[in-house]
Amino acid sequence: MLSDMKRFLQIQGAGMLLLTLFCYGIGLGILAPMNSIYLSESIGLSKGQIVSIFSISLLLNMVTTLGIGTISDKLKSKKRLAMTAAALCMIGLQVYMRADNYVGALIGMCIAVAPSGLIMGQLFAMSRNHFQRVASDIVEMAQIWLRAGHSVGFFAGLLIGANLYLLADFRGVLWGNTAGYAMLFGLLLFYREYKGETVKAEARNGEAFSLLMLFALLMLACADAIRGLYLPLVVKDLFGKPELMSYIWSIQAVFELLFMTVAGYWAAKYGSKRIILLGGFGAFITYAVYASSAALPVFFLIQPVYSFFVSILYGVAMGYVQRMFMSRTGFGASLYVFISLTASLIGYMFPLFIEGYNPLIFVIPLTLVAGSLLLIGYVLVVDRKQEAGISG
């Protein structure tokens, strides 16, 4: 592991990609836990209005991400797509921070969010092409370390965002998010993209297409999306301090890099599906605790367990989906982002059936995770029977 990591850091362009994703993560982390609270507290929107803004902007993001992702492998430069998206997101944030009603917030959010899915998808498509060309034997771990770098940046952003909120209220948080996109744009200017023909990996490194597994991942991501939007509101409702959510989430940063690395090597040894199943059990335990406890220390203590799940969902699962489409890196990465966005859109709707912001909301993701675990278990049983039939 240490030798692989050393080699990763010595590869030309790897440091720039890692720093780019780290800075992008900072920008996202600054705003993430405060976004729904900003709409509720500063603009005074209702629960239904907040959900509709998130849902409409996410729907536009989904269409943009999958639409451009479908044709991105035919384009010469993926970097230009990501830079254009970052510029549009900055413009949208300027509109968003000046909004004082539902319509203004909706327009700003749509401009800021609709292009954002392109950024993550195209960055990881670029990185897979890059490492497949110069270090194909560590390409999967390189992807995981880049994703871990983004996560560490995200949780650094959570801490920065909490302090910006205390120093400059929500306006400081929004300017911090804008700065994250600006750093991303500036760093991409200096990154030298590989613009040759998409590198075609060997078929043995790929994964068989599985609609059931994609649906299971959708359910897991949907559960995570419910937590992402509603946990900050539940914590604020229970304890009255919006900044607590940033501190709760930031605990994950301590474990994320380690968990992603370990999970990546486990996936290479035991198979991605088995490790995704293991991560799902961590999510099940966490949501059971969220739904049954209202004690602040418990919310902090359960975070490492959830961090293990998130490390697998964002690291191992992302590589698993990409390997289903080895010769179409742009589409594979965009499909994973599309799954995440679809999960968010669905996840935002479910808790509308529960009044207020109470821990009972987490019964919904608990049920989704349970269903996903059953699906993955079924796929593994089928795989084992097929392997037994072939060997027999």
pLDDT in the model for residue 203: 46
pLDDT in the model for residue 293: 74
Alpha carbons 3 and 21: distance in angstroms, whole number: 22
DSSP 243: T
pTM for the model: 0.73
DSSP 274-329: HHHHHHHHHHHHHHHHHHH---HHHHHHTHHHHHHHHHIIIIIHHHHHHHTTTT-H
Instruction: Please report, in tens digits, the pLDDT of each residue of the chain (392 residues total).
Output: 777 778 888 888 888 888 988 888 888 878 766 777 778 877 888 878 887 888 888 888 888 888 877 776 676 778 888 899 899 999 999 998 888 899 998 999 899 888 887 888 788 888 888 888 887 778 878 888 888 788 788 878 877 887 887 788 888 888 988 988 899 899 888 888 776 554 554 445 667 888 999 999 999 999 998 887 778 777 777 777 766 766 776 666 667 767 887 888 888 888 889 999 999 999 999 999 988 877 788 888 888 888 889 889 888 888 888 788 766 766 777 788 888 888 877 877 766 666 667 788 888 899 999 999 999 999 999 988 887 776 55
Q: Closest Cα partner for 147 from 10, 321, 302?
A: 321
pLDDT in the model for residue 201: 47
Alpha carbons 76 and 348: distance in angstroms, whole number: 36
| Backbone φ and ψ of 46, nearest 5° | -80, 170
